[in-house]
Amino acid sequence: MENKITNTGTATITIDGKSYDLPIMEGSMGAPGIDVRALHKKTGHFTFDPGYTSTCSTESQITFINGQEGQLLYRGYDIESLAENSSFLEVAYLLINGDLPNKDQHKKFTSTITQHTMLHDQVESFFHGFRRDAHPMAMMCGTVGALSGFYHDDAHTTVDAARDMAIHRLIAKIPTIAARSYKYSIGQPTVYPDNSLSYAENFLNMCFSVPAEKYKISPTIARAMDKIFILHADHEQNASTSTVRLAGSSGANPYACIAAGIACLWGPSHGGANEACLNMLQEIGTVDKIPEYIARAKDKSDPFRLMGFGHRVYKNFDPRSRVMQKVAHEVLEELDLQNPILDVAMELEKIALEDEYFVEKKLYPNVDFYSGIVLSALGFPTSMFTVLFALARTVGWISQWNEMLEDPSQRIGRPRQLYSGATPRDYVPIDKR
């Protein structure tokens, strides 16, 4: 990876009356960073930043977020433009390679992915080792990690062809694993990939087709699924992406690295947010109860919180939610569902966009709010929400992993700590304690 970071000045830090100069580094967009790599050598001090909220862990050219302006760019392209005009596989190519593909590149990439969608028959047998009530994320995490036992080419960190193969296999097989996890959890037979279908169509067919009846794929639903994948493909250095990079920094097998990302994403504070949002809608239950819950949300002493509103990163409107809002209404119109939970969601959306309290605090509906509605309307249980998130995010994870391996400044991750435990003490034999 070509380094495009420039030194734009010097920051001076004073410790116990002594001053030290540290370089200020600046990228092509966003806030500059102070290079503290030499801080400990110069001063004997480390920085203390729990959660790394003020720390740049890496240089990256893949995704850019401006939370104040509500901006999300993939390789410089606005997320709303990509969702409106691109396909998921075209976006996947962009994230991995840096540029949108031409016709020949797109055809070759799509063909390669399509040819690797099948799972090894022994991988299929893994699912029978899980309990029927196992969470689909548990099955996905375990199965993706197990792929490292089938594809253990050590050249994936040094040889381009081996690395490309790992990238293509992961993008191709993740939908098959996700759909297989769903089918197993509901007790239905496996539906194998269909190479005549698009990426999103194939996934929907594997999830909802049954041997007794042909599944009719709605173009509106397939396009909605494709947009969901695009919107969730990458999101800068979040917890799961940083986990993949940290695992990959040791030279670990790429399938094991992605499994680590899936495990991190499973957390309710990360990938489980849309599931928490739907649970909230179910708790509210009916439209007539919304004013009561709105009042509770405004009461700081009440433990109830409205899920799916506002975002830790976006201090303005989440740009992904504008796309998902449109998708949600298109899907609901296409399916013409009569569901009280969806009625609650639509009324809650209306109130949140007009209520002075929400507008003033910029608590706009975020992507999790709308994606939970859409996935529920499509027929996915809440246990599958994070699985679909992981399916889409695999493209981002593998792009970040690939970029990390090409970065000449990359080193194995080794965060520091402030130790607050016991100071040295003498061992006392057990009969004298």
d(CA 32, CA 30): 7
Nearest residue to 416 (alpha-carbon basis) of 1, 46, 81? 46
Helical spans, DSSP H, in 270-366: 273-284, 290-298, 319-335, 340-354, 356-360
What count of other Cβ atoms lies within 10 Å of the Cβ of residue 102? 8
Handedness of CA 347, 351, 352, 353 (dihedral sign): positive
d(CA 167, CA 49): 33
Buried b (16+ CB within 10 A) or exposed e, 272-302: bbbbbbbebbeebeeeeebeebbeebeeeee
Q: Phi first, then psi: what are they for 17, rounded to 5°?
A: 85, -5
CB 86 within 8 A of CB 233: no
Catalytic residue from among 270, 311, 336, 431: 311
Q: Is residue 164 annotated as part of the catalytic site, yes or no?
A: no
d(CA 223, CA 374): 12
Catalytic residue from among 40, 368, 407, 431: 368
Handedness of CA 321, 326, 332, 334 (dihedral sign): negative
Q: Is residue 368 annotated as part of the catalytic site, yes or no?
A: yes
Tokens of 189: 């037979």
d(CA 218, CA 201): 9
d(CA 342, CA 332): 9
Helix (H) or strand (E) holding 239: helix 239-248
> What residues act catalytically?
311, 368
